[in-house]
A and B are shown apart, each in its own frame.
Chain A
Amino acid sequence: MVDVSFGPEPGPRPAPPAGPYLAMQRRKRVYGLVLLVLFVALLASGFQVAENRNAGGFLNGLAQLDDFPAEVLSEAWAKRAAIPGRMWEYLPSLLETINIAAVSTLLGVLAASVLSLLATRGLARWPRLTPLFRRLLDAFRAVPEIVVALVLIYILGPGPVPAMIAISLHTAGAMGKLFSEVAENTDLKPVEGLTSTGASWGQKMWLGIIPQVAPNWLSYALLRFEVNVRASAILGFVGSGGIGYELKVAMQWGGGKYDQVVAIFLLLFLTIMLIDQCSDRLRHRLVKGA
C-alpha cells in the first residue's frame, strides 16, 4: 500500500504514448538503415578504388601472401646458427631506437606538462593566453612526425637527432592535450591553501597540482613511450637512424641478407612485447594504486 502513494495518481491512467514513440523508433531505424547502407557503399567503393590504384590486386596478393615470409624464413632457417650473433650485432642500433623513443618521451612529457598547465582554464599562469597555448598544442599534434623528421634530416644531416626532435614535438602536442584534460579535473583546494601562504605560480603547480595528476600523467607517458618506440623504428626506416634504418638496408639487399632481416624482426618484436608488458603492469599499479 505504501508504494501506491509513490505511484501514478489514482484514476484512469493515460494511454501509453504509442503513436509518437513508435514513429520515433521507426524514424531511428530508417536513419540507422540509411547510415548502414551508406557505410557499406563507402566501404565497397573505397575498396574498389584502392584495388584499382594498387599495383597488385587483392586476390593475387592473397595467393602470394606467404611467398615472402616463406622465402625469408627458409633462408633464415638455413642460416639459423648465425641469427643470435646477428641479433647481438644489431643491439646497438636497437638501443639507439629505444633511446630516441625514451628521450623524446622525456622531453615531450616535460614540455607537455608545462604547456598543459598553461593551457588549462583555472590553472593557467596567464589566463588570457590559454587559447594561444591550446592552439600551439593542436599545431604540434597536427604536424606528422615524418614531415618534421625528413625536413630536419635535410638540415641536420642523417642521425638520431631529427627523429628525436620530430617525436618530441608530436609527443608534446599529444600529451599536452591529455594532461590538460587530467589537470582540469583536479581539486583546487590545495592551490587555494598554497595561495593563502603567498606561494608563486610554480610552487602552487608543483606542490598543489602535480601530486594529484602525477599517477595519471605517468600512466599516459608510459603508454606514449610504447607508441614512440614503434614510431622511432618507422622513422628510422623512412629516414635514418636506429634499427629501422638497418632494416631498410638489409631489406634493400634482398636475398642473401634475410638472416639479418629475421634478426631485426625478432629484436623489434621482443622489445615491443617486453615494453608492452612492463608498461601494462606499471600502469595498472599507477592507476589502481600500489
Chain B
Amino acid sequence: MTVSIPLTATPLLASFHRRRLIALAVPAVILAYLVYIFFAFDIAGLAGRARLDNAKILLGDFVSYKTHVTRNNTTGAVTVAVEGEAKGTFAPGHLPDWVKVQGDTTTVDLGAGHVVTYDATGARYVVPGYGTIDIRPEGGKLTLTAPQPLPDWINASDTRVSVTTSHGRFAYTRSKVETFRYAPGWPLFFFTPDSAFFGKSWGELATLALWEPRLEAAQPNILGMVHDFWTNKMWRHGDVVWAIGETILMAFLGTMGAAIVSLPLAFLAARNMNRLAPVRFALRRVFDFVRGVDALIWTIILSRAFGPGPMTGALAMLVTDTGSFGKTFSEALENIDEKQVDGIRSTGANTVQRARWGVLPQVLPVLLSQVLYFLESNTRSATVVGAIVGGGIGLLLTQAIQTQKDWEDVAYYVLLIIGMVMAMDSLSGWLRRKLIKGE
C-alpha cells in the first residue's frame, strides 16, 4: 500500500504543479502586456497632454450656462444674449430682471453683492470683501483703480482688464465691455426670447394654454407653444427628433432588409436544402467576404455611390448584416428536425410548401431572436454609421462636439441616445417575449 501512493500521487502532483505554473503565468503575461501598452500608448505622457481645463469647461457647460451683457464702447449699445449668440438675444424691452438700463448707465447684478456698472465714464465692479474695481479709458489706454496689491484673479494691461470671480466674469477692452453671468441649467430649453411665451412661469403657461385669450390671433396658444418649442432655434428640437427617427430608421431598414435578403440565400447555402455543393460553397464564401469587409469599408464605398444620408447608412448595415444573417440562418436551417419535413413531403407538398410548413416553423424562433438582437445592436451602431455617412443623431453629435462650445447640446444628445438605445432594448425584449415565447 505504501508503494502505491507515490505511484498515483506523482502524476497528480505534477498536474497540480503545472496548473499552479499556469495560474501564475497568466497574470504575469497580462501584466507584461499591460506594461507594454503603458509605453506603446504613452500613458505617462498623457498627463501632460490632458486638458483638464477642457474637462472643466465641458462639465460646467453640461449643467450651467452663461449670459453675456455686452456694451459696445463706440456706439454705447448694450446687448444681453445667452451664450452671446444672436438666437439667444433678449429684446431691449424684455431684459432679465438682474440687468437695469437707465440712460447711459447699465447695472448688472451678479448676486451676493457682486454688482457691475457700465456708465459714460467707464465701468465699475464691486466685489464684496475686496472693494471696487474701477476702469476708465483715458487717452487710448485703460486706467485701473483697485485696492492694491492686485489679486491674481484680476488680469490687467493697458488694453485689456479681465476679472474672474466666483459669481461671474468681466472683461474690459477698448472696443467693448462684457460681463458673463452664470446660471445653472440648460438655457432657453423651451422657448427662445423671440417667442411670445418666453420668460413665463409654468403656472402662467398652463393658464395661457387652457383659457387665456390668444397671444396671436392666428392660432390657439397651445399650438403656438408647440410650434415655438418645436422650432426653438437654440435647441432645434424638431431637427433632433427627426435625427433620432432617422437613426432608428437606418437600424430598422438595415436589419430587416438584411433579414429579407439573406433568408432565401440561407436556404441555398444550407446543406440539407440545396444539393449543389459548388453553389453552397460559393455562397458561404460570399457571406464570409461580406462579413470580413468591415462595416466601415462598406459604409465608405456606399456613401460614395449613394451620397450622404440615412439610405446610405441603412444600405451599409444591410450589406454587412447579410453576411452575418446568411451564416447564422443557414446554420439554423442545417440543425432542423427532418421528420417534420418528411411528414409534409408525405402529403405531396412541393419544395416551397415544404419550406413554408416544414422548415420555417422550426427555425422562425431562432431567426426572429437573431433579427431582434441585431436590431438592438444596430440601433447603437447607427449612431456611429450616421457620423460617417452624415445622417441622424450621430451627425448632430459629431458636429456639436467639433464646434467645441455647445457642450449642453452634447449632453442633450447623449441623454437622447441613451434613452433611444434603452427604449430599443426594451422594445426588442418585449417583442422577443411576445413573438417567440408567446406570452
Contact = CB atoms under 8 A, between A and B. Distances in A.
Interface of A: 39, 42-43, 46-47, 49-51, 53-58, 60-62, 64-65, 67-69, 96, 99, 102-103, 106, 138-139, 142-147, 150-151, 154-157, 159-161, 164, 230, 233-235, 237-238, 244, 247, 251, 265, 268-269, 272-273, 276
Contact of B249 (A46, A103, A161): A46
Interface in B384-429: 384, 387-388, 391, 394, 397-398, 401, 404, 410, 414, 417-418, 421-422, 425
A53 B253 contact: no
Contact of B422 (A50, A142, A230): A142
B292 A50 contact: no
B414 A50 contact: no
Interface of B: 30, 33-34, 37, 40-43, 46, 49-52, 54-55, 58, 246, 249-250, 252-253, 256-257, 288, 291-297, 300-302, 304-312, 314, 380, 383-384, 387-388, 391, 394, 397-398, 401, 404, 410, 414, 417-418, 421-422, 425
Nearest to A39: B256
9 contacts: A43-B253, A54-B309, A61-B312, A103-B33, A106-B33, A154-B51, A156-B49, A230-B295, A234-B384
Given A54-B311, A233-B296, A238-B398, A146 B40 contact: no
A113 B43 CA distance: 25
Contacts of A62: 305
A233 B305 CA distance: 22
B50 A157 contact: yes
A102 B32 CA distance: 13
Contacts of B249: 46, 49-50
B325 to A, nearest CB: 16
Nearest to B386: A146
A70 to B, nearest CB: 11
A54 B418 CA distance: 25
Nearest to B45: A159
Contacts of B414: 143, 147
Nearest to B53: A155
B247 to A, nearest CB: 10
B417 A69 contact: no
B388 A43 contact: no
A155 B51 contact: yes
Contact of B307 (A56, A102, A159, A244): A56
B300 A144 contact: no
Majority SS at the chain A contact face: helix
Contacts of B33: 102-103, 106
Given A67-B304, A159-B49, A268 B311 contact: no
B37 to A, nearest CB: 5
B50 A65 contact: no
Contacts of A268: 294, 296-297
B117 to A, nearest CB: 37
A269 B292 contact: yes
A233 B54 CA distance: 26
Contact of B384 (A46, A58, A138, A144): A144
Contacts of B394: 146
A146 B305 contact: no
Contacts of B312: 54, 56, 61
Nearest to A55: B307
Given A50-B249, A269-B293, A55 B305 contact: no
Nearest to B38: A103
A56 B398 contact: no
Contacts of A50: 246, 249-250, 253, 309-311, 314
Given A43-B256, A50-B309, A53-B391, A234 B383 contact: no
B140 to A, nearest CB: 39
A273 B397 contact: no
A61 B307 CA distance: 8
A56 B380 contact: no
Contacts of B295: 230, 234
Given A147-B414, A234-B384, A269-B293, A251 B391 contact: no
B58 A154 contact: yes
Given A144-B380, A268-B296, 11 more contacts: A43-B257, A49-B310, A51-B311, A55-B306, A61-B311, A65-B305, A138-B422, A144-B421, A155-B51, A157-B51, A159-B49
A231 to B, nearest CB: 8
A159 B292 contact: no
Contacts of A159: 41-42, 46, 49
Contact of A147 (B55, B297, B302, B417): B417
> Among A60, A144, A145, which residue has the most Cβ atoms of chain B within 10 A?
A144
Contacts of A164: 41
Nearest to A226: B291
Nearest to A72: B301
Contact of A144 (B50, B292, B410, B417): B417
Contact of B50 (A42, A156, A160, A272): A156
A154 B37 contact: no
Contact of B304 (A68, A139, A272): A68
Contact of B294 (A58, A143, A272): A272
A54 B417 CA distance: 21
A51 B387 CA distance: 18
Given A43-B253, A143-B418, A150-B397, A55 B296 contact: no
A42 B30 CA distance: 49
Contact of B246 (A42, A53, A273): A53
A169 B305 CA distance: 35
Contacts of A247: 296, 300
A55 B300 contact: no
A155 B55 contact: yes
A265 B298 CA distance: 10
Contact of B288 (A43, A56, A139, A273): A273
Contact of B421 (A106, A142, A157): A142
Contacts of B410: 151
A138 B429 CA distance: 14
A237 B305 contact: no
A142 B418 contact: yes
Given A147-B417, A154-B404, A234-B384, A54 B308 contact: yes
A99 B394 CA distance: 26
A64 B305 CA distance: 5
Nearest to A238: B387
A155 B301 contact: no
